Structure 1
Amino acid sequence: MHSHSNQVAIWTITELSEHANVSTATIVRAMKKKGYSGYSDFRHSHLNQKRDSIRYSILNHVDGQIRNVIMQNEVELTNTLANLSISTIEDTIHLIKQAETVYIFARGPSEPTADEMCLKLELLGKNAQYFHDPNVIKQISKRIQHNSIVIFISLNGRTEELVEAAHNLSEKEVPIIVFTTVKDSPLAKLSDELFLGFQSGVTMFNHYEVHSRLPLQIMSRILLDSYVIRTQ
């Protein structure tokens, strides 16, 4: 089995029995002695180990600095998923379903995430509008009614025009959904529903505001995929 691990991963117990020239009962007993409940349990574990090995095989061929760059993505993914709340997802789905219009506000490098979210909502039949111009955002926020909702996408949650817009909406009791990575940011504090991602803080572009938007993209995808499940 060690010498033919690739084949064993796809063989049934009968096929393994034929190739090893032993009975299936012998194989089951051998698996139990190795700590598995049976051959199926062994195969499942074996396949998972092979997937992990392939998934991270690149780490065996890079130096420490590149390895750290690669693993920062896993850190952001894992911690962002850990921060997610199912009640926040379900409540936001309900708000989107009930809203006459879904407005999305974003600035700078967060704009592509907002643009994708708007497109997907439109494909799902929602009246969605996305704005990134700071002056338009501030003016539009004064006219939005409480039968709509507004989604803010901001990595640090401190963008001045977005915070001003959120204050305008809060005064009119318009539901505010915020995607950010900073829990104590002004936008987070003004939110009715908060999607809090994890930002590793590591960037190779120290003099520019181009930190990874991966946490925002992950949360956006999870929300919209969940929305499809609940509405389709």
Structure 2
Amino acid sequence: MTTSKKQLTQTEAYTWNYLNEHFQEIITLNISEVGEIISVSTATITRTLQKKGYRGFVDFKHSMENNAQDELNILAEPLLNDETKISILKSYQEVTRTLNMLDLKTLNEVVDLLLETEKVIIFARGFSELLGTEMQTKLLLLGIYTELYTDPNIIRTISKRLDTRTCVIFISLNGETHSLQNAASNCQARLIPSVLISSNQAGNLGKLTDYQLYGFKTELTYFPDFEVHSRLPLYIIMRLLLDTLAVNMKA
């Protein structure tokens, strides 16, 4: 399965959203039939899916079908409506694809960094603040002094005062939060080691940090007008990172 860091065009974004929102309807169709329904070429569909990490349309359907039919017995429950089934399927997909795409070499490098650092600073905004709070608590329980900052003005200020004995962790679902980009630039200029936990490999934060741990996020949301997308991929990464760290500290 290939992965592209290219941004989706407007037509590709429309195609991707349709495929996700109408998965139950297209599961029995071929790529040409889907193209006719949404008025795009088969090449556009293929290109869109390749940018999202699939080899093509068949790979996309197989991935979704296999995950659902073989592993998720709950989908056979007659009390579930189609929308809820899709939500369950998307959650399962986020878990499995995040685990499959995780860079274990980088994960271990981050663990080594945390074992050596004197202090950890976590910068997070929005719903990612909840994940930051949990990470701070668990790092403190492991004996690693940790501070969490969520206010954009304070984040910018603190990022200018750090030294190389500190490790900074950025938590950002889309990797584009402006205050975090500003802080990352400050850290980069001061040679402060930094880690990004995100689901967007094309986000600017990836270019401003030393280590990146990416998860897979689907586009499905029932709150399209608000930035409240699921942080499930980020929680998976955080758990693996902290569990690995805890095991290494006991060794």
**Which residue among 54, 77, 80 is the counterpart of 1:60?**
77
Identity %: 37
- 2:74 alignment partner AA: S
Structure 2 unaligned regions, length at least 5:
1-68
CA distance in 1, matches of 2:132, 2:240: 14
Matched, 1:189 2:207: yes
Matched, 1:142 2:143: no
Question: Quick one: structure 1 residues 80 and 53, their matched pair in 2 at CA, closer, same or farther if it must change by over 3 Å?
Answer: closer
Deviation sequence 1:121-155 (CA, Å, 0-9, x none): 00010111111011110000000101111000000
Instruction: Tell me which residue corresponds to 1:160.
Output: 178
Instruction: Tell me which residue corresponds to 1:42.
Output: none
**Which range moved further: 161-170 or 73-82?**
73-82
**Which residue among 179, 193, 218 is the counterpart of 2:197?**
179
Structure 1 unaligned regions, length at least 5:
1-51
Question: Quick one: structure 1 residues 165 and 54, their matched pair in 2 at CA, closer, same or farther if it must change by over 3 Å?
Answer: closer
CA distance in 1, matches of 2:81, 2:221: 17
Instruction: Tell me which residue corresponds to 2:240.
Output: 222
Offset, 1:86: 1.2
Matched, 1:208 2:229: no
Offset, 1:85: 1.3
CA distance in 1, matches of 2:84, 2:76: 8
**Counterpart contact for 1:59–1:67, Cα < 8 Å:** no
Instruction: Tell me which residue corresponds to 2:96.
Output: 78
**Which residue among 127, 130, 133 is the counterpart of 1:112?**
130
The 3-state SS of whatever aligns with 1:185 is coil
Normalising by structure 1, what TM-score? Answer: 0.75
Within 5 Å, give how 1:33-72 maps onto structure 2. Answer: 56-61=73-78, 62-72=80-90
CA distance in 2, matches of 1:55, 1:196: 25
The 3-state SS of whatever aligns with 2:77 is helix
CA distance in 1, matches of 2:194, 2:76: 41
Question: Quick one: structure 1 residues 86 and 202, their matched pair in 2 at CA, closer, same or farther if it must change by over 3 Å?
Answer: same
CA distance in 2, matches of 1:122, 1:174: 21
Within 5 Å, give how 1:126-141 maps onto structure 2. Answer: 126-141=144-159
Instruction: Tell me which residue corresponds to 1:47.
Output: none
- 1:57 alignment partner AA: I
CA distance in 2, matches of 1:55, 1:68: 11
CA distance in 1, matches of 2:138, 2:220: 30
CA distance in 2, matches of 1:54, 1:174: 43
Aligned length: 181
Normalising by structure 2, what TM-score? Answer: 0.70
